[in-house]
């Protein structure tokens, strides 16, 4: 009976996550990007101002070392030289802690920072937080922030196998405007 209850709760959480991850977003293109001050895997603090005068791909993801999150991170890793050539930096954010990020970075040789938003405050500012009471998970949302610190594009529906290329294509278009 206990096992059945656990299965039902997990199914409810999964369905709830799917519906909540499609919920409205509080940040839209044209808005000033919300500030953040978060630690990376080594404890160094990162804030929005650190990325001023350059494009920033700020991507939120649910969990280190899970299939979709690994695919997305590795696509950003593999395309990083193209993104940097377009003047963009990549930063990932989840509610995982620094030690989880450090292992994820080491395991997949990720050359960009992963920031720990353990209380979910920054994800919430960006409308990228699913809060199920005791469990908080970042939604798979990405925000392309222009060099002036405004949101240039919001990605709420992400195909992890094509997402970095989608951003590269959008950056090429945005840089010609």
CATH code, domain with 139 = 3.40.30.10
> Tokens 């593999």 map to which residue?
78
Instruction: List the structure tokens of 130.
Output: 């699913």
> Which residue in the list 69, 88, 122, 152 is annotated as catalytic?
69
**pLDDT tens readout for residues 81-133:** 999 999 999 999 999 999 999 999 999 999 999 999 999 999 999 999 998 88
Nearest of 126, 49, 127, 57 to residue 88 by alpha carbon: 57
Number of domains in the chain: 1
pTM of the predicted model, to two decimals? 0.85
Helix residue ranges per DSSP H, 21-162: 67-85, 98-108, 121-125
Instruction: List the structure tokens of 67.
Output: 């299939």
**pLDDT tens readout for residues 9-66:** 555 555 454 444 444 457 999 999 999 999 999 999 999 999 999 999 999 999 999 9
Range of the domain at 42: 2-176
74 part of the active site: no
Instruction: Name the 3-class secondary structure at 21.
Output: coil
Instruction: List the structure tokens of 42.
Output: 């080594």
* CB of 80 closer than 8 Å to CB of 111: yes
């Amino acid at each position: 009976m206990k096992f059945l209850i656990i299965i039902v709760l997990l199914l409810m959480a999964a369905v709830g996550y799917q519906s909540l991850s499609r919920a409205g977003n509080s940040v839209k293109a044209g808005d000033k990007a919300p500030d953040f001050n978060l630690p990376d895997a080594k404890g160094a603090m990162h804030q929005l101002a650190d990325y001023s005068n350059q494009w920033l791909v700020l991507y939120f993801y649910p969990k280190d070392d899970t299939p979709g999150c690994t695919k997305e991170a590795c696509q950003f890793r593999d395309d990083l030289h193209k993104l940097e050539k377009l003047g963009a930096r990549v930063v990932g954010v989840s509610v995982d802690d620094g030690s989880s990020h450090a292992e994820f970075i080491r395991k997949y040789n990720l050359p960009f920072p992963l920031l720990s938003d353990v209380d979910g405050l920054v994800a919430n500012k960006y409308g990228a937080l699913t809060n199920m009471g005791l469990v908080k998970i970042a939604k798979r949302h990405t925000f392309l922030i222009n060099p002036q610190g405004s949101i240039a594009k919001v990605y709420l529906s992400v195909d992890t196998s094509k997402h970095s290329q989608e951003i590269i294509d959008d950056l090429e278009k945005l840089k010609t405007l």
